[in-house]
Amino acid sequence: MDFQSLIPELAKGLLHFTWGNGVMILAALALIYLAVFKEIEPVLLLPIGFGCLLANIPLAGMTAAEGMLGVLYEAGIKTELFPLLIFIGVGAMIDFSPLLAQPRMALLGAAGQFGIFGTLMLAIALGFPLNQAASIGVIGAIDGPTSIFVATKLAPELLAPIAVAAYSYMSLIPIIQPPLMRLLTTKRERLVQMEYAPKPISKRTLILFPIVLTLTVGLLVPEATPLISMLMLGNLLKVSGVVERLSKAAQNEIINIATLFLGLAIGATMTAKDFLNFDTGKIMLLGLIAFALDTVAGLLFGKLMCVLSGYKVNPLIGAAGISAFPMAGRLAAKTANDENPHNFILMHAMGANTAGQLGSVIAGGVLLAIVSKLI
């Protein structure tokens, strides 16, 4: 027994503290601050921030393979279980009837995914290898679980900055989108009123939709199956009306536990070594660009639909096609309403918004399919 060595042993925590740890702890505190005091996606940024804090306390061992956060990472991130379980819960909270009532709104959900590919090109131009560039691009899905799912498969080393960018910017949408809306549309376009008189959607339709969608997307884009199928499973649990027990479990215990553990485990990957480099800065910047590109592409496509329809489509709903449900839909409706207080395009915007959710998952699957073949 070596008793003399006790003293340095007892100060080891401080002795092993690096400036990198210090910077990362500041980053963790910033995330927690945003979550708690600015209420920016607190259910995710608070656990991520706390996980980051723990990962930067030297010798605590929580991020080691046998430490708690390491165990959670192995159990739920590496297996992709956590994002998929979250999707079951999200699916059980989504209402697809506005989209089913006006199926052509689906098109806007495709246009709003351009940011994914545009950002991928920019990332390649900045020198990122293809797998990393694709993972960065998928921030443009503007959908946390999709971004995490794709990044885990293609570039797990970038998981933390990608997740942080995806969730942080989500709350900045009310700041990012409105200027672009006003810049890219004319007053005449924003004043376009839309008639909302859809066929009623039967319960049968609502039940068949998640099943047929799973099959259609699954057969065309096998890589998108895990994400789309869990989203649709959650939705089926809800709309079927016969398994309220499971639907409630999906919306409560399953999503809550998965969210807490996912946040902690992702935050735990934010070590100085992996996070403190220029790449992280570039990723944060590219993520912001991805959000903007999505909005621009959605608006331009909206303008195209506006012209082609003879000014029957308000191009603002194009901005709702980016997913980010339901903020984007509400913003588009609000902007139109601000221009003319009698103009209500919320249901159209919500249709586009739900389509954006589906488009994001499909785009994520397409990206996975193409890129895993190429690398």
Partner 1 sequence: MTANLLLALQITLIGMGLVFGAIILLWGMMTLLTKLTADKDSASDSPKPVSASETETLARAAAVAVALAMAEQQLSSAHPLKDPPTAIVSAWQLGMRTRQMAQKGYRLSR
Residues numbered 201 to 220 that lie near partner 1 (CB under 8 A) are 201-206, 208-209, 212-213, 216-217, 220
**Site residues (CB under 5 A) for Na ion, limited to 308-337:** 322-323
Of 118-177, binders to a copy of itself (CB under 8 A) are none
Distance between CA atoms of residues 13 and 61, nearest Å: 11
Total chain residues near Na ion (CB under 5 A): 5
- Among partner 1, Na ion, a copy of itself, none, what binds residue 13 when CB lies within 5 to 8 Å by partner kind? a copy of itself
What amino acid is encoded at 158 in this protein?
A: L
CB of 366 to a copy of itself, least distance (A): 8
Least distance in angstroms from the C-beta of 139 to partner 1: 15
Amino acid at 126: L
Q: Count of residues binding a copy of itself (CB under 8 A)?
A: 76
Nearer to partner 1, 117 or 275 (CB): 117
Contact 294, 113 (CB under 8 A): yes
Considering all CA atoms of the chain, what is the largest pairwise distance in Å, rounded to the nearest integer?
87
Confirm or reject binding of residue 200 to partner 1 (CB under 8 A): yes
Restricted to residues 274-313, the positions that interact with partner 1 (CB under 8 A) are: none
| Cβ-proximal residues to 234 (8 Å cutoff; 6+ apart), any chain | 87, 88, 89, 90, 91, 92, 93, 94, 247, 250, 251
User: In this complex, which beta carbon is closest to a copy of itself, that of residue 40 or of residue 332?
Assistant: 40
Q: Is the peptide bond preceding residue 174 cis, with omega within 30 degrees of 0?
A: no
List, in order, residues 6 or more apart from 310 with CB less than 8 Å away. Answer: none
Taking only Cα atoms into account, the Rg of the chain, rounded to an integer number of angstroms, comes to 22
Task: Determine the interface stretch with a copy of itself among 100-108, 246-254, 273-281, 300-308 (rule: CB under 8 A).
Answer: 246-254
- The Cα–Cα gap between 86 and 42 comes to 15
Among 77, 108, 142, 159, binds Na ion (CB under 5 A): 142
322 interacts with, out of partner 1, a copy of itself, Na ion, none, CB within 5 to 8 A per kind = Na ion
Note whether 197 binds partner 1 by CB under 8 A: yes
Angle (CA) 245-249-255 rounded to 5° is: 160
Would you state the structure tokens that stand for residue 207, as one six-digit string?
């039940």
Asked if 155 is part of the footprint of Na ion (rule: CB under 5 A), the reply reads no
The reply on whether position 176 binds Na ion by CB under 5 A is: no
Q: Footprint of partner 1 on residues 100-119 (CB under 8 A)?
A: 100-101, 103-104, 106-107, 109-110, 113-114, 116-118
Is residue 358 involved in binding partner 1 (CB under 8 A)?
A: yes
Whichever of 64 and 172 has its CB closer to a copy of itself, that residue is: 64
Of 10 and 15, CB closest to partner 1: 10
Q: How far is the CB of 5 from a copy of itself (least distance, A)?
A: 7
Residue of 257, 285, 300, 304 interacting with a copy of itself (CB under 8 A): 257
User: What span, in angstroms and rounded, lies between the C-alpha atoms of 327 and 10?
Assistant: 50
How far is 217 from 130, CA to CA, in rounded Å? 25
Which CB, 149 or 291, lies closer to a copy of itself?
A: 149
Separation of alpha carbons 27 and 81, rounded Å: 27
d(CA 256, CA 261): 9
